[in-house]
A = this chain, B = another copy of it.
Amino acid sequence: MEYIGHGGKPIVERVLKPDEAKDAIKGLTEIPVRRQIAHETISIAYGFFTPIEGFMKYEDVDSVCKNMALADGVVWSIPIVFDMNVDELKEKDIKEGDSVLFKYMDKPLAIFEVEEIFEYDTKFMAEKVYGTSEEKHPGVARTYKYGEKFLGGKITLVNEPVFSEPYATYWKTPIQHREAMKEKGWEAMVAHQTRNVPHTGHEWLMKGAWFAANEDLMVDKLRTGVLVNCIIGEKRKGDYIDEAILLSHDMLRKAGYFRDDVHMTTFTLWDMRYAGPKEAIFHAILRTNLGCTHHMFGRDHAGVGDYYGTYDAHYLLKSVKEKLAIKPVFVLEWWYCPICSEVTCSALCNHTKERQKFSGTLIRSILMDGVKPTRLIFRPEVFDTVMETAEKYGFGSPFVTDHYLEKRQPIFTLKDL
């Protein structure tokens, strides 16, 4: 069965079987790639970035920067680029028309067809994508670190990643997402983007969005699901550790706060760009490819500092929504209200003086202290999961530290070919 992704194109899947792969890589020049490039190579090859089949060429990069669309007009907001330094290019004698072998962790990863080698003004790119050229913006900083040259061309995975636990449990390719959705009988699926462990505010944000996405509910058959699609990638100190994010979200289902038939947790390999509205568009594209019909967007989606207005992402999404196959669900704030005696929504509850907003800082301090909070704010099973995960993986804290960055086990390994 052919599944259709973003831009109305079939889901890309460019993956060679092991025996084909062995032959195909013979004699290719090897290029070791860094984590970001390896992750994006995998995402491209499995179709997370459909209709993109490789790293972008000049025409697409330029069109994304200037028109927020690929050269063929399909909406796209973040350049997906592979960079190299001139020295390395010379040293390896890489030219347009070559095929090379990406290696990661000393193992073969993918064949890259070097269709084009080009330059692009990274200051211009930063300004267009991030709306700023300030280097303290982490996405801009990343942009400025790119090598002098960009290489555009198709990617073919030759070595499928073998995920370690707990990642293996939650890994699904876009096609596997579609199959899981079909198996569950879901006709609608609403994406929740997260890098957090969930408090009850997040839980109700998802529950409220479930109703919004459930456009044609019949009681005898639930046909709408929530997809918690965690972003797993570059970590910064103080972030929640990846293992805890995955396990705690799934615990909401396991502990019955969500029924088995309306909730699924998976992840995507992606380094957050913190591009705010532009990243929201990218998330919409990504989840379209996973089969989502709806995507929730809250305040300050994927933003950082004060570069973007609280609801800028909503306005940008609204401006292109005719061109997206996914429907944005603009979620409102949920808070704990002592008068209502429950978690309730800013759109509904009028106890504006009494309401207690969820504070990330408060939740973090609760977790730091290890004191179990009221179940109205934070589910005890989720609390236990977060703590046990920190212990199990040997970090003591559910927050990223230098120790974690150094000692965490790899998300996946690659076999020898």
Contacts and interface: CB of A to CB of B under 8 A. Distances in A.
A164 interface: no
A134 to B, nearest CB: 27
A107 interface: no
A341 interface: yes
A311 to B, nearest CB: 5
A212 interface: yes
A256 B339 contact: yes
Interface string A319-359: 00000000001101000000111111101111100000000
Interface residues of A, number: 42
Nearest to A347: B222
Interface stretch (A56-64, A169-177, A203-211): A203-211
Nearest to A208: B211
A257 interface: yes
A349 B259 contact: yes
Contacts of A339: 255-256, 375
Nearest to A342: B342
Interface in A196-230: 207-212, 214-215, 217-220, 222
Interface in A146-161: none
A248 to B, nearest CB: 16
A14 interface: no
Interface in A262-288: 262
B340 A207 contact: no
Interface in A293-328: 299, 311, 314, 318
How many copies of this kind of chain does the complex include?
2
B210 A217 contact: no
A350 B214 contact: no
Contacts of A217: 212, 329-330, 332, 347
Contact of A347 (B208, B210, B344): B210
Contact of A212 (B211, B219, B375): B211
B341 A375 contact: yes
Contact of A376 (B208, B212, B218, B342): B342
B257 A376 contact: no
Interface in A243-261: 253, 255-260
B212 A262 contact: no
Given A347-B259, A348-B210, A350-B259, A219 B332 contact: yes
Contacts of A214: 212, 347
A345 B207 contact: yes
A212 B340 CA distance: 21
A348 B262 contact: yes
Interface string A44-86: 0000000000000000000000000000000000000000000
A143 B55 CA distance: 74
Which of A209, A257, A343, A350 has the largest count of B CB atoms less than 10 A from its CB?
A: A350
B345 A219 contact: no
A207 B329 CA distance: 16
A328 to B, nearest CB: 9
A256 B375 contact: no
A259 B348 contact: yes
Given A210-B348, A256-B349, A342-B376, 17 more contacts: A207-B348, A210-B347, A212-B212, A212-B217, A219-B299, A220-B314, A256-B351, A257-B348, A257-B350, A258-B348, A258-B349, A259-B347, A259-B348, A259-B349, A262-B347, A262-B348, A341-B376
11 contacts: A209-B211, A212-B215, A212-B217, A215-B215, A218-B330, A219-B330, A222-B347, A257-B350, A259-B347, A259-B349, A341-B376
Interface of A: 207-212, 214-215, 217-220, 222, 253, 255-260, 262, 299, 311, 314, 318, 329-330, 332, 339-345, 347-351, 375-376
Considering the complex of A and B, which 3 residue pairs feature the smallest CB-CB distances, nearest first?
A211-B211, A256-B350, A342-B342
